[in-house]
Amino acid sequence: MAVMRAGGFPFLREGVDWWRSAVVYQIYPRSFADSDGDGIGDLPGITSRVWHLAALGVDAVWLSPFYPSALADGGYDVDDHRDVDPRLGTLADFDDMVAALHGAGLRIIADIVPNHTSDRHPWFREALASGRGAPERERYIFRDGRGPGGAEPPNDWQSGFGGPAWEPVGDGQWYFHYFAKEQPDLNWDDPGVREDFRTTLRFWSDRGVDGFRIDVAHGLVKDLSEPFAPWSEVAEVTRADGTHPLWDREGVHEIYADWRRVFDEYDPPRFAVAEAAVHPTRRARYASPEGLGQAFNFQMQEAGFQPDEFRAVIDAGLADMRVSGSTTTWLLGCHDTLRVATRYGLPRDPDLNSHQVGQRWLLTNGAEPVADLALGERRARAAALVLLALPGATYVYQGDELGLHEVPDLPPESLQDPIATRSRGTAKGRDGCRVPLPWTPDGPSFGFGPGGAQPPQPAWFGRYAVSVEADDPDSTLSMYRRALSLRRSLTSEEEFAWVSDPDESVLHFVRPGGWHCVSNFGGAPVELPHGTVAVSSVRLEDGRLPRDATAWVLVED
């Protein structure tokens, strides 16, 4: 049995390295809990439910954007990076929430959105008002249009949300927006933009924020020099070598080195994790100690529930840790992806990855192919126990601790995601994983708040309510609670070793302290190592682990 050192990190510094093995719970504020009955979740709602996070046993909360916003992209269209949306509360509510989280021993990670602002941000309003060639336009990416009167966009580049990436402003100029047109991209060559974000990082750090999740971290520096290559060519540029005009350019790392100096002004230094959709070989730079410190590894979201796919993603994540000296992140889903319990219930397609299968299924409103929801839920539990046994940090998206499913058939008029509208029917969008959480089995919004819920919850949501699952020892929530409490007591070492061979349908690995994690991906029930079965994703059959299940076994040396 080859034992490998996953992290290469010599020692853990008390109070500083908490993030290396943290379990981080992602809150999407407008669908977590609503205190005032307006149907939008808010910060006092979060404060009132800190008990759930404490009982669950997570170490930290990552809060998706809560800033003033028109919610053109669920809050990732920020009007003011240093305030709270009035519908979500006030800065005083923010302070109360931080105090409640810290009081319960939980850390808080805020989402920073530096690639773009909203089109309601004062900078963008000034840019529009001040006209062609004005210095106020330098904070964004304005270019003259082509053709008579600049009536044509500067080039044919496309938005990631569908449709053109340029929007005209009526005076012959156009601005660049990789995402929705309400999200103009910032120009990071502008020193004022750089200074303002340093101010924002200090603003939240001073208010007690422990770390930051950096949205679109790979996109800030762009090469928009002319002549422009046609989009068909740009779209083909490999992401492996840093030559893409929009993504993962060398210059982004200067920004993060600068931010690192800001993070290190604090004691303990503030933590950061990059949302960087880059080639796996290029993740380590973002995760370096001179940079942000950690980078999301999204590969588990694309893997099917297959032993070879899991093993490959685990090996790649552990290899990342050896290269960067940081820890990798494990996650099954987030606010941008189909819920994992549903994804694992869809039949495989040899030509598509698991994420793509889910996207195609959404276009049928969940009608075709038929999803085996019970199987998906069972597998999601098995997968969660795998992730929680790995060295590194695990991120849990709100509701996944309940085994909640995607809502694939929301009424069309309730869809809010710009992907749904901009893609003209080629994509369904991300609303189905953002439906407000069920807390109780009944009531107008299943305990989400005193009013309604947007997008609306389906009738079957009540089955997954926190209060229902808390009373059921066999529920997904009870399994998560047991696993998280055990994980805390097990190890902070980062060693890992495979016990099973690569071609087996059983995945078996061991961690320090005799902590064995065994998953049966198919076939007959399997024997477990001799020891104490500390937690399992389903009941064992005659002491053996049935298929689509995981168990943790503690074996004495």
Residues that bind ligand GLC (CB under 6 A): 73, 76, 113, 179, 215-216, 275, 335-336
Q: Which two tokens stand for residue 354?
A: 């698991």
**To 10 degrees, what angle do helices 252-263 and 191-206 make?**
30
**To 10 degrees, what angle do helices 476-490 and 373-389 make?**
10
Residue 327 contacts by C-beta under 8 Å, 6 or more apart in sequence? 7, 9, 19, 20, 21, 294, 321, 391, 392, 393, 494
Cβ atoms of 36 and 44 closer than 8 Å: yes
49: left (phi over 0), alpha (psi -120 to 50) or beta: alpha
CB of 57 to ligand GLC, least distance (A): 25
CB of 313 to ligand GLC, least distance (A): 20
Q: Which residue is nearest to ligand GLC (CB)?
A: 76
CB of 377 to ligand GLC, least distance (A): 25
Nearest to ligand GLC of 311, 430 (CB atom):
430
Beta bridge partners, 167, equal: 175
Give the active site residue among 79, 93, 215, 320: 215
Catalytic residue status for 85: no
CB of 209 to ligand GLC, least distance (A): 18
CB of 273 to ligand GLC, least distance (A): 12
Nearest to ligand GLC of 216, 318 (CB atom):
216
Nearest Cα neighbor of 114 from 50, 201, 12, 244 is: 201
CB of 216 to ligand GLC, least distance (A): 5
Give the active site residue among 258, 265, 368, 541: 265
Nearest to ligand GLC of 113, 287 (CB atom):
113
Q: Which two tokens stand for residue 109?
A: 């990670």
Nearest to ligand GLC of 295, 506 (CB atom):
295
Residue 439 contacts by C-beta under 8 Å, 6 or more apart in sequence? 33, 49, 446, 447, 448, 465, 466, 467
Q: Which two tokens stand for residue 75?
A: 């809050």
Nearest to ligand GLC of 111, 401 (CB atom):
111
CB of 40 to ligand GLC, least distance (A): 17
The dihedral over CA atoms of 282, 288, 290, 291, expressed in degrees to the nearest 10, equals 60
Beta bridge partners, 545, equal: 526
In single-letter form, the type of residue at position 311 comes to: R
CB of 115 to ligand GLC, least distance (A): 7
Q: Which two tokens stand for residue 393?
A: 């940090």
| Distance, CA of 445 to CA of 461 (rounded, Å) | 10
Nearest to ligand GLC of 70, 497 (CB atom):
70
| Distance, CA of 458 to CA of 405 (rounded, Å) | 11
Nearest to ligand GLC of 59, 336 (CB atom):
336
Nearest to ligand GLC of 71, 499 (CB atom):
71
Catalytic residue status for 320: no
DSSP single-letter state for residue 207: T
Cβ atoms of 76 and 183 closer than 8 Å: yes
Q: How many CA atoms lie within 13 A of 125 on its CB side?
A: 5
| Distance, CA of 262 to CA of 358 (rounded, Å) | 40
DSSP single-letter state for residue 544: B
Residue with tokens 């995981």: 550
CB of 180 to ligand GLC, least distance (A): 8
CB of 168 to ligand GLC, least distance (A): 22
| Distance, CA of 340 to CA of 404 (rounded, Å) | 8
Cβ atoms of 440 and 467 closer than 8 Å: yes
Nearest to ligand GLC of 424, 530 (CB atom):
424
Nearest to ligand GLC of 197, 305 (CB atom):
197
Helix residue ranges, H only, 112-248? 122-130, 191-206, 231-234
DSSP single-letter state for residue 186: B
- CA 291 from centroid of its chain's CA atoms: 19
Active site residues: 215, 265
